[in-house]
Amino acid sequence: MVHLSSPYSVAETVTRLEALLQAQGLTEFCRIDHSGEAEKVGFTMQPTQVIIFGSPKGGTPLMIASPTLAIDLPLKALIWQDAGGKVRVSYNSPEYLKQRHHIPDDLLKNIAGIGPLLQKVVG
């Protein structure tokens, strides 16, 4: 798992990611506000959200080649605040997904952009 530091709050980091996804023509399939849901049932946790995003055009060939990859696609970005108040953006590296699901080298490019994308979010 790759962890980046964000100089922004969790909410602002999420907003920046959503804007960048839209600008790049990627689909945001879902946003899960774990801390918000925890609050509804009486728990308190640091701000924590997951954004699930991608492109069916890019992801479908990967899942055809390696059906188990469907458990990890669409791509996910975890935006969270640690106990010290630092905001992090975490994601599974394409190399990890390649090893886990035996993704062919020629298809790895379909998900290789996640690192640079998230670097822009925190930059």
pLDDT of residue 46: 98
- Tell me, what's the pLDDT at 30? 98
Q: At what angle do helices 114-122 and 10-23 cross, to 10 degrees?
A: 130
**Backbone phi and psi for residue 16, each to the nearest 5 degrees, phi listed first:** -65, -40
59 vs 1: CA distance, rounded Å: 20
120: phi > 0 → left, psi -120 to 50 → alpha, else beta; which? Answer: alpha
Q: What is the mean pLDDT of residues 48-70?
A: 98
d(CA 20, CA 23): 5
Q: What domains sit in the chain, N to C, each tagged with a CATH number?
A: 2-122 (3.30.310.70)
Mean pLDDT along residues 5-17: 99
Alpha carbon distance 73, 77 (integer Å): 11
Q: What is the pLDDT of residues 18-52, one digit of tens each?
A: 999 999 999 999 999 999 999 999 999 999 999 99
| Cβ-contact 67, 51 below 8 angstroms | no
Please state the pTM of the whole predicted model.
Answer: 0.95
